[in-house]
Amino acid sequence: MAGNEYKANDIEVLEGLDAVRVRPGMYIGTTGAKGMHHLLWEIVDNAVDEVVNGFGDTVEVTIFEDNSASVFDNGRGIPVDVHPKMKISGVEVVFTLLHAGAKFNNDNYIFSGGLHGVGASVTNALSEWLLVEIHKNGKLYRQEFHSPEIDGKIKSGIKKSDIICVKNTDKKGTYVKFLPDKRVFFDEKFQIEIISKRLREIAFLNKGIKIILTDRRVRQDDEFKVYEYHYAGGLRDFVVFLNDAKEPLYAEPVFIEDKTEKFRMSLSFQHTDGYTESVFSYVNNIPTTEGGTHETGFKSALTKVLNDAARKKGVLKEKDANLQGEDFREGITAVLAVSMQNVQFEGQTKTKLGNVEVKGIVENLVSARLEEYFSDNKNRPVLDKILSKAILAAKVREASRLAKEVARQKNSMSNSNLVGKLSACTGRNYAVNELFIVEGDSAGGSAKQGRDRTFQAILPLRGKPLNAEKKRLDQILANVEIRSIISALGAGILDDYCQKDLKYDKVIILADADQDGAHIRSILLTFFFRYMKELITDGHVYIGMPPLYKITRKDSVQYAYNDEELNSVLKEIGKASYQLQRYKGLGEMNPEQLWETTMDPKTRSLTRVGIEDAADAEKIVTVLMGDAVEPRKRYIYEYADFNKTTLFDKLK
C-alpha cells in the first residue's frame, strides 16, 4: 500500500520564505482583501515606528494603477551594511528572514507596533516583486526581490539583485514598493477607503506626524487624488472627529497625558447628550477592540476620581452610595492610547491587552492627572456637567436594571416574549443552529414553511424595532421586538452578555431589498453594535442575500442576485425568449423558492458582518442613525450614488 513507508526523504524542507506562501493564513490571516491589506500594514507599521520614535516626521503611501503600493518614511533608513552573523546586508536580512528585526530589544525602538519581526519578509514572500530603496549616509541604495516560478515551483521573495549604490542623495529614509501576488490574492484590489481610515487613525494617535496618501488610480482636476492627515491636537482632534454628529456637553475634550521611563499614556474624552458609552483603546498604535488591562485601569480611575469629586462638592452626601462607573461613562466618547514595551496580547489577533501590571500603571497615572485637571478652577464647569449627567443616569439606572432583568433569559418571563412569535428549531446543537430574523409576517410565513426545522429558527418582526442610537436602555428594552430578539438569542446584553449562553451560531437578518428593508437592517445592526457588540466581533451576524431577479424560460428558472449575474444569465440566454421578474420583497417568494435561493446552506449567499475599525464603525453608526442632520447629509452626498440605475431599469 502506497505511503506505508515513512523515511527521512519524505520530509519536505521549505527553504527561505516558501513556508509563508504554503500557509499564508498563519501569517496574514486570510488570502482575501483583509490579508492583502495586511501586507501594506506591515510596511506602514515599520515606517510609523521610525517616525514616532523621533527619527522622522512624514510617511507617504501611494497606490498605483497596477495594484502595487509604496511606502516612504524619512527616518534613518534600513541598515545597508553587512550583518556580522548572516554575512548579508541588513536590507536582505529584513526582507528574506523570518523573525529578523530591530524590535525584539528596545535599543533601537523604545516603542513599536510591529512586534514579531516577520512583517517585511512576509510582505516580500507574498509579492510578485518588491523594491527597496534606502537613502542613507548621502547615498541611495537599491535592492530588488521577486517570486519567480522555477522548475514548476514558486520561489518566494528571493533576491533579484544584490544591494547596489545607485547615486548620491541629500534625502534620508526608506522607500518600499511591492505588488501583491495574484497567485495568492487573485483579483483582490487595494481599497482606498480601508487604507485612508487606518492612516487617518494613525495620524490622530501620533500628534504631529504627517501622512500623505496618494491614489494614482483616481484623478481630480487632472491631478491624482491625495489625502493628507496631520493633527496638531492628536487625541483631542480624534474625539472631536468622533463626536461630529453628537451634541457635546462641554466644548473642549478633556486631555491628559503622563509617562514613566518605559510607559507612555495619553487620554482624551468628552461627554455628549447621548446615552451610549464609546471607549476606544490602542497599544503602540494597534487597536485593542476587545479592551484589556489598560481600559480597566482607565475606567477604575475615572470612577474613583469622579466619586471623590462628587463628595467634595456635596453632590453625594455621606449616606449616599457611590455612583457606578456606567453612570459616569454614559454618553462618553474616550480614546486611550498607551505606548509600552513587552506587550502581551491575548489571542493572535492583537485585540486585547493582557499585561496585568498595566492596570495599576494606567489607574495611577489617570487618577493623578484627572485630579489635577478637575482641581483647576477653569475646568470646574466641565466637572459640574459630568456630575449632573451622572446623577441623572443613576436615577434612570434602576429602571434600566429592571428592564435588563427582562432581557436576561430567566424562567417564563423571558419565554413569554416569544409566545406566538419564534418558530424554534428542534436541534439543540447551538454550534450549527441558525436564527433568521425576518421582516414581516408574510416573509416569515414562507420562511417557516421553507426552512429546515432541525437547525433553522424563524423570528418574524411585526414592526420596526426601536432605534438604539436615540433612546435610553430602559426605553429600548420596552420595545416588544427588541425584547423578542434578546430572549431568542439568550445571551443577554451589555455586561450581562455571555457567549456560552448564545443559542445560535448564525444570526441572519433577512429583509427586503428596498428602503424599508435597509432601514430595518440598520436598526438591528445598530442595536447589536451598541448592546451586543461581541455578537458581531465574534462573527455571528450575517445579512441574508435574497435574489433580485427571477429569469423564467419554458424549461428552466434561474435567479440573479445582482446586475452582474443578471447580465451573465441574459448573455447565456441570447435571443431566446424569457420572462424577467424583479423581486420587490421576500413575501413574493413561495417557501420552496425562499429555501432554494436564500436559506439552503448549499446554494444561498450570506454576508458576514464584521468591524474592521471600531472607531470608524462608531462614527458611521452615529452619523447614519443619530439625530444630527448635517453630518448625515454630508456622508450621504459623499458616498451615495444618486445616478445609479439597475439593469432592470434599462431593460424596461
Enzyme catalytic residues? 439, 512, 514, 516
- Residue 35 CA to chain centroid, in angstroms? 13
Work out whether the CA dihedral 612, 614, 620, 626 comes out positive or negative: positive
DSSP labels for 288-339?
-TT-BHHHHHHHHHHHHHHHHHHHHTTSS-TTSPPPPHHHHHTTEEEEEEEE
DSSP 101-168: SS-SSSSS-SS-S--SS-HHHHHHHTEEEEEEEEEETTEEEEEEEE--EETTEEPPSEESS--EEEEE
Give 3-state DSSP helix, strand, coil % of the chain, rounded to 5. Answer: 40, 20, 40
Q: What values do phi and psi take at 72, rounded to 5? A: -125, 135
- Compute the radius of gyration of the chain from its Cα atoms: 28
Place of cell 501620533: 206
- Contact assessment for residue 508 and residue 543, using Cβ atoms and an 8 Å cutoff: yes
Q: What's the rounded Cα separation, in Å, for the pair 254 and 268?
A: 5
Q: How many CB atoms lie within 10 A of CB 241?
A: 17
Whether the Cβ atoms of residue 500 and residue 569 lie closer than 8 Å to each other:
no
Q: For residues 317, 365, 250 and 620, what is the CA-based torsion angle, rounded to 10 degrees?
A: -120
Distance (Å) of CA 500 to CA 76, 417, 505, 544: 50, 21, 11, 24
What is the Cα–Cα distance from 194 to 436, expressed in whole angstroms? Answer: 30
C-alpha cell at 379: 475646568
Q: Please give the helix or strand (H or E) that residue 59 lies within, else none.
A: strand 58-63
Alpha carbons 526 and 533: distance in angstroms, whole number: 9
User: Is residue 173 helix, strand or coil?
Assistant: strand
Q: Which of 98, 101, 168, 161 is nearest to 131 (CA)?
A: 161
> Contact, 559 vs 581, CB < 8 A?
no
d(CA 37, CA 46): 15
Instruction: Give the whole-angstrom CA distance, residue 91 versus residue 64.
Output: 24
Q: Residue 522: CB partners within 8 Å, gap ≥ 6?
A: 624, 625
CB atoms within 10 A of CB 115: 19
Q: What's the rounded Cα separation, in Å, for the pair 318 and 312?
A: 10
- Nearest residue to 175 (alpha-carbon basis) of 124, 122, 132: 132
* C-beta atoms surrounding 314 within 10 Å: 8
Alpha helices by DSSP H, 539-640: 563-573, 591-594, 614-625, 629-639
* C-alpha distances in Å from residue 454, one per residue of 108, 500, 597: 59, 21, 19
